[in-house]
Amino acid sequence: MAHLSQSPSRPTIAAEPEPGSLLSTTLAQLESTFDRLELAEGMRLLIQQPERELSDIAVYKGYRVQHSSARGPCKGGIRYHPGVDFGEVRALATLMSIKCAVVDLPFGGAKGGISVNPADLTPRELERLTRRFAAMILPILGGKRDIPAPDVNTNEQVMAWFMDTISAREGQYTPEITTGKPIALGGSLGRAEATGRGVVIAAVETLHKLGMTPQGAAVAVQGYGNVGRHAANILREEYGCKIVAVSDVSDALYNPHGLDLALVNDHVARNTSGLLAGFGPDGPADHITNAELLALGVDVLIPAAIEGQITGENADSVKARVIVEGANGPTTLEADAILNERGVVVVPDILANAGGVIVSYLEWVQNLQFYFWDIGEVRSQLSRRMRASFEELWTLSGELDLDLRSASYLLAVDRIAKAIQQRGLFLASGG
């Protein structure tokens, strides 16, 4: 059973978000930004509330939320996780709108997911679930309406199933309906590394602004998945950083002299679980906890796991000079205030991990024109956009004496509000 809710007036969310949740934190940050911009109440509601929400309740609960299409088609990932619910999806859709506006992409934000543990499913069951979900949310999807991408526990194969299902329903090949696809089906070179490479650019630019050199800088990475792994390896190989610690859900490794990432990568590739668990004889490393990793005295800390990792309880123990958020919402509102007070530079997720959506945009453009670029062109475009956005935010934060997160929200909300104002309000019913 699918349920679609949509209203031009976009009434307020009926249920209050759970205190401390990602949605609560996002809405609080928005309220602060609204006050700085002195937005009228009507505009606040238009930006605060999603435009459209769809839920599909069969064996599993599935959701798709479109936050804003004021600046262009909605864009956002699909995640498969037992913790997926409407509150989380609403928050992530809102953050996607902010993120796209921060890096000035012609997209609005969306997010979707299914409350399921994909590890409990066979490949055939996963494919059937994906195709069913794609068919149910098809009415609100489209290459110029809403374009899904991979997220937590989804990958290029899931996007291939999505694209194929929609193409079959539409009766024509529509590669632009998803991004993060296999290269053979219209995916872009550089998409797999994009989010991690964007994190690297944000980290390196921050170090330069602080008068520090990346060469030899000590870095700890929480979350050695796609984002964290690429970020760690690019920092090590291309900038000479010293990766002293990495972690995932199974283990955390530490070597103050720098981990041998070649050995770590080889272990993860050979491990049937794809995790760090069992690393030991392969190379010298101490086994620490995730809590200990977050408290290491490093130059750069990259939380690239899940949301809510740096909180009011542990923010005082963080010793890193710079935090670059690879994950969505890894720092709570309370922790953010503590870190700002202590002078820790936090590069927020809505800028730091925007590399993924930037290259998704590049993939979408390539699909629309059926003309594909080499890896050098993709990396060049990503680097140019990330560095320009970073410079703009660094300058704005200095001019207004704001932290980077507050400056990011201010810039993004202003862009979204101006787009809404300039487009005006049109009621399809003619009212």
Rounded CA gap, 135 and 154, in Å? Answer: 17
Residue bearing tokens 């130059």? 299
Cα 257 → chain centroid = 31
Strand 345-347 vs strand 322-324: parallel, antiparallel, or unpaired?
parallel
**Angle at CA 198, nearest 5°, toward 369 and 375?**
45
Rounded CA gap, 364 and 369, in Å? Answer: 9
Rounded CA gap, 417 and 404, in Å? Answer: 20
418 in catalytic set: no
Contact 253, 276 (CB under 8 A): yes
Cα Rg of the chain (Å, integer): 21
Q: In sequence order, which residues have a C-beta less than 8 Å from that of residue 370 and are 6 or more positions away?
A: none
DSSP state for residue 10 in the 8-state scheme: -
Q: Which of 293, 263, 305 is nearest to 281 (CA)?
A: 263
Rounded CA gap, 161 and 175, in Å? Answer: 11
Contact 174, 166 (CB under 8 A): yes
Rounded CA gap, 67 and 89, in Å? Answer: 10
Q: Give the phi and the psi of residue 247 in degrees, each rounded to 5.
A: -150, 165
Q: Which of 384, 366, 351 is nearest to 181 (CA)?
A: 366
Kindly state the helix (H) or strand (E) to which residue 76 belongs, with its residue range: strand 74-80
Strand 2-6 vs strand 52-57: parallel, antiparallel, or unpaired?
antiparallel
* Sign of the alpha-carbon dihedral angle for 312, 317, 322, 324: negative
Six-digit token string for 154: 């989804």
| Residue tagged active-site, from 111, 181, 242, 319 | 111
Active site residues: 111
